[in-house]
């Protein structure tokens, strides 16, 4: 049973240009080692503090650590405050299979319901989370969660308010592929830095290679009468494939497929199956191992 303190956080965050405030005692703070701590995901929260700057939150988190705290707090200027390096009580009860206090890093933010997100806070939250997930070797479709999307029973939590999980996963995925996305974990399967130029629009029914860790967006051509479009994704090695459907700029559905060795997954691109309010106009695909994807026309 291992207890993996996240002592690498300051280096990983500073490597992508973020400001880090190490609060005294953070390197040894955490819930007891009687239970494991093996973080493989990040959970975003908001702290429900009063609107505007709430600089007293780190002290509150430290002094109420065993009841209400997380490893990190991000202020409205985008500074990452480190509160604890060990297990923290940030999730409460969660749905089956979702990240727990034992398996996730909690990131609190200086924000409350109905408050606008300061651009500096949101940008830093995305960049820092991308750096953390790169270090962990996990893509956002698997590794980024919101408190409100994991809590049990559903509806018990509303934070972080005003953010869309699918859209944020995509933002973090984009940050992970940038050159400033942070160092990758040496021992694991690091996500490569992007080296390919922007891709031309593919020909109809073209098989597209989706490089490891690099999201690729495919346009969905209009289907001729009597036909529908289908998306197929195939993997030589087992992969968790993140698929985001969009209509224009709007995300209409986001799913994660587990595609086994040499197998493929398929979705019919019909309004009922893939979109809220109509057909998708594009599909973004990413995976940690290379996969191939094609949007094919098939009889309806």
Q: Provide the minimum distance between the beta carbon of 225 and Zn ion in the complex, in angstroms, as a whole number.
A: 49
Q: Provide the minimum distance between the beta carbon of 159 and Zn ion in the complex, in angstroms, as a whole number.
A: 4
Q: Provide the minimum distance between the beta carbon of 104 and Zn ion in the complex, in angstroms, as a whole number.
A: 12
Taking 3-state DSSP, the helix, strand and coil percentages for the chain, each rounded to the nearest 5, stand at: 20, 25, 55
Beta bridge partners of 266: 232
Q: Is 123 exposed, middle or buried (0-12, 13-18, 19+ CB in 10 A)?
A: middle
- What are the residues whose beta carbons fall under 8 Å from the beta carbon of 253, sequence distance 6 or more? 166, 244, 245, 274, 275, 276, 280
Distance, in Å, from the CA atom of 125 to the CA atom of 131, rounded to the nearest integer, reads: 10
Q: Provide the minimum distance between the beta carbon of 141 and Zn ion in the complex, in angstroms, as a whole number.
A: 21
Instruction: Report the residue number, 101 or 286, with the smaller CB distance to Zn ion.
Output: 101
Instruction: Report the residue number, 61 or 269, with the smaller CB distance to Zn ion.
Output: 61
Residue 61: φ, ψ to 5°: -60, -40
Q: Provide the minimum distance between the beta carbon of 283 and Zn ion in the complex, in angstroms, as a whole number.
A: 31
SS3 state of residue 281:
coil
Instruction: Report the residue number, 16 or 69, with the smaller CB distance to Zn ion.
Output: 69
Residue 20: φ, ψ to 5°: -125, 130
Category of 178 on φ-ψ map: left (φ > 0), alpha (ψ -120 to 50) or beta: beta
Distance, in Å, from the CA atom of 173 to the CA atom of 167, rounded to the nearest integer, reads: 10
Q: Give, rounded to a whole angstrom, the gap between the first and last alpha carbons of the chain.
A: 52
Q: Provide the minimum distance between the beta carbon of 45 and Zn ion in the complex, in angstroms, as a whole number.
A: 3
Instruction: Report the residue number, 108 or 240, with the smaller CB distance to Zn ion.
Output: 108
Instruction: Report the residue number, 51 or 219, with the smaller CB distance to Zn ion.
Output: 51
Matching residue, tokens 């040496």:
186
Instruction: Report the residue number, 159 or 170, with the smaller CB distance to Zn ion.
Output: 159
Q: Provide the minimum distance between the beta carbon of 157 and Zn ion in the complex, in angstroms, as a whole number.
A: 5
Q: Which residues bind Zn ion (CB under 5 A)?
A: 45, 147, 159
Instruction: Report the residue number, 48 or 297, with the smaller CB distance to Zn ion.
Output: 48
Matching residue, tokens 């908001």:
46
Matching residue, tokens 């089956």:
96
């Amino acid at each position: 049973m291992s207890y993996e303190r996240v002592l690498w956080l300051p280096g990983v965050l500073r490597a992508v240009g973020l400001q880090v405030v190490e609060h005294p005692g953070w390197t040894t703070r955490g819930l007891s080692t009687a239970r494991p701590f093996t973080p493989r995901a990040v959970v975003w929260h908001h702290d429900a503090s009063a609107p505007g700057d709430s600089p007293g939150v780190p002290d509150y988190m430290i002094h109420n650590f065993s009841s209400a705290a997380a490893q990190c707090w991000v202020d409205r200027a985008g500074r990452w405050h480190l509160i604890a390096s060990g297990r923290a009580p940030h999730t409460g009860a969660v749905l089956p299979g979702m990240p727990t206090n034992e398996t996730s890093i909690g990131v609190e933010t200086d924000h409350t319901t109905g408050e606008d997100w300061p651009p500096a806070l949101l940008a830093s939250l995305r960049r820092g989370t991308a750096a953390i997930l790169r270090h962990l070797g996990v893509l956002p479709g698997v590794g980024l969660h919101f408190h409100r999307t994991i809590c049990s029973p559903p509806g018990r939590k509303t934070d972080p308010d005003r953010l869309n999980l699918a859209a944020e996963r995509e933002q973090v995925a984009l940050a992970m592929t940038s050159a400033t996305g942070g160092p990758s974990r040496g021992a694991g399967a690091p996500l490569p830095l992007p080296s390919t130029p922007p891709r031309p629009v593919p020909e109809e029914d073209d098989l597209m290679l989706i490089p490891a860790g690099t999201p690729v967006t495919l346009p969905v051509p209009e289907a001729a009468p009597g036909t529908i479009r289908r998306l197929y994704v195939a993997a030589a090695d087992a992969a968790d494939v993140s698929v985001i459907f969009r209509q224009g700029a709007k995300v209409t559905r986001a799913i994660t497929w587990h595609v086994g060795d040499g197998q493929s997954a398929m979705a019919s691109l019909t309004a009922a199956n893939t979109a809220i309010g109509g057909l998708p106009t594009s599909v973004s695909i990413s995976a940690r191992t290379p996969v191939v994807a094609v949007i094919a026309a098939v009889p309806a």
